[in-house]
């Protein structure tokens, strides 16, 4: 009996000693975004919400590169050194930094326009070892054609970041679209958001309107563009409806970035649960509910323009009398 008591006590001590070590630790997710602006903030929130649906105890290390490639590289080194369970790169530069640095755990790219062109994967049809993600390839030609339907555009200005692979690719698509639509294309490049105001001032007198893609560097300084454009009575078409709720562009046609973030979060949860990233093709947001059209009726009135009745009816968001109206 005495031996049984001693054995029972020993087993109890062993259990108490090892139980904390055996308890499942919360997963740690590193999220790196290139810059803070409404669209990327919505993406970040969506990613977290998509992950916590299945991993409610997940811990997030949120990092912002503030538009600096060197900072994006430092964040990648941080995630590698701290051995987070999985890393998410929001936008092309941060995703590239993560993929170039981290080989010991999965990397998920999010809001990368062309992951093949960016060197993240070799084919849209599958991922790579430890790499998968979601693209935000936007309908560039349709966006420009919509602007040209609202106002006659002979010459279109486009400002983009020469340091973002996604922005360079979108500029190529915008130039190609303009050529097909019979519109002259006037580009201006910037290397950081501080240069955006000077860039718009350089081209504004030479163009009939401005098109801004989902270029993170430029969108983060979108108010500088609309300020200059308004003084010259020129319309601005944007690919980012999120920021357009507070910044007066004429129209914005693009993705619901929160939904894109949630989709990315669910993919991240799948991979945390055992899905092999290499088997996952690039995810494109193709459902009509993923696309938002925002029309600013106040800006249209100030420019003496009007939208087609059908567009107003189908728009997800209207700005009228300074108020945001969700339809």
What DSSP string describes 193-215? GGGHHHHHHHHGGG-SEEEE-S-
Half-sphere exposure of 125 (CA within 13 A, CB side): 1
Q: Tell me the mean pLDDT per 10 residues along the chain, length 327.
A: 44 42 74 91 96 97 95 97 95 96 96 92 95 92 95 97 89 97 97 95 98 92 97 96 93 91 97 96 84 94 96 94 93
The angle subtended at Cα 224 by Cα 219 and Cα 229, nearest 5°, is 105
DSSP code for 233:
T
Structure tokens at 172: 């190529």
Total-model pTM: 0.75
pLDDT, residue 291, reads 81
Is domain 140-255+289-326 given the CATH code 3.40.50.2300 in the classification? yes
User: How many whole angstroms separate alpha carbon 52 and alpha carbon 58?
Assistant: 6
C-beta neighbour count of 13 within 10 angstroms:
10
Per-residue b or e along 198-211, where b marks 16 or more CB atoms closer than 10 Å to that residue's CB: ebbeebbeebbbbb
Q: Which CATH superfamily is domain 28-136+257-287 in?
A: Response regulator (3.40.50.2300)
pLDDT, residue 164, reads 84
**pLDDT tens digits, one per residue of 253-272:** 988 889 999 999 999 999 99
Structure tokens at 29: 């997710």
User: How many whole angstroms separate alpha carbon 126 and alpha carbon 281?
Assistant: 4
pLDDT, residue 24, reads 66
Radius of gyration of the chain (CA): 24
DSSP H or E stretch at residue 272: helix 257-272
**pLDDT tens digits, one per residue of 65-105:** 998 999 999 999 999 999 899 999 999 999 999 999 999 89
Whether 140-255+289-326 and 28-136+257-287 are alike in CATH topology: the answer is yes
Q: In sequence order, which ranges of 64-195 are alpha helices (DSSP H)? A: 69-82, 92-101, 140-150, 165-181
What DSSP string describes 282-324? PEE--SGGGEEEEEEHHHHHHHT----HHHHHH-SEEEETTEE
pLDDT, residue 289, reads 77
**How do the domains of the chain map onto residue ranges?**
28-136+257-287, 140-255+289-326
């Amino acid at each position: 009996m005495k031996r049984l008591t001693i054995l029972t006590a020993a087993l109890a001590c062993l259990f108490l000693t090892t139980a904390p070590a055996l308890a499942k630790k919360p997963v740690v997710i590193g999220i790196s975004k290139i810059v803070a602006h409404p669209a990327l903030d919505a993406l970040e929130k969506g990613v977290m919400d998509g992950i916590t649906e299945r991993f409610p105890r997940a811990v997030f290390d949120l990092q912002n590169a503030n538009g600096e490639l060197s900072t994006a590289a430092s964040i990648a080194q941080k995630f590698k050194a701290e051995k987070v369970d999985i890393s998410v790169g929001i936008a092309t530069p941060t995703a590239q930094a993560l993929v170039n640095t981290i080989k010991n755990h999965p990397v998920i790219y999010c809001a990368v326009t062309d992951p093949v062109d960016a060197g993240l994967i070799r084919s849209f049809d599958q991922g790579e070892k430890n790499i998968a993600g979601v693209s935000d390839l936007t309908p560039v030609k349709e966006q420009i054609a919509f602007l040209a339907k609202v106002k006659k555009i002979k010459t279109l200005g486009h400002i983009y970041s020469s340091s973002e692979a996604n922005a360079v690719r979108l500029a190529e698509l915008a130039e190609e679209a303009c050529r097909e639509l019979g519109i002259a294309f006037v580009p201006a490049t910037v290397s950081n958001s501080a240069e955006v105001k000077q860039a718009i001032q350089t081209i504004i007198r030479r163009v009939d309107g401005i098109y801004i893609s989902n270029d993170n560097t430029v969108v983060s300084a979108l108010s500088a563009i609309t300020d200059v454009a308004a003084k010259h009575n020129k319309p601005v078409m944007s690919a980012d409806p999120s920021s357009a709720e507070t910044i007066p562009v004429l129209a914005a046609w693009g993705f619901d970035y929160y939904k894109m973030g949630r989709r990315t979060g669910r993919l991240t949860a799948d991979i945390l649960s055992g899905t092999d990233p290499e088997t996952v093709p690039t995810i494109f947001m193709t459902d009509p509910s993923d696309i938002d059209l925002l029309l600013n009726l106040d800006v249209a009135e100030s420019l003496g323009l009007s939208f087609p009745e059908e567009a107003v009816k189908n728009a997800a968001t209207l700005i009228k009398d300074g108020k945001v109206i969700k339809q």
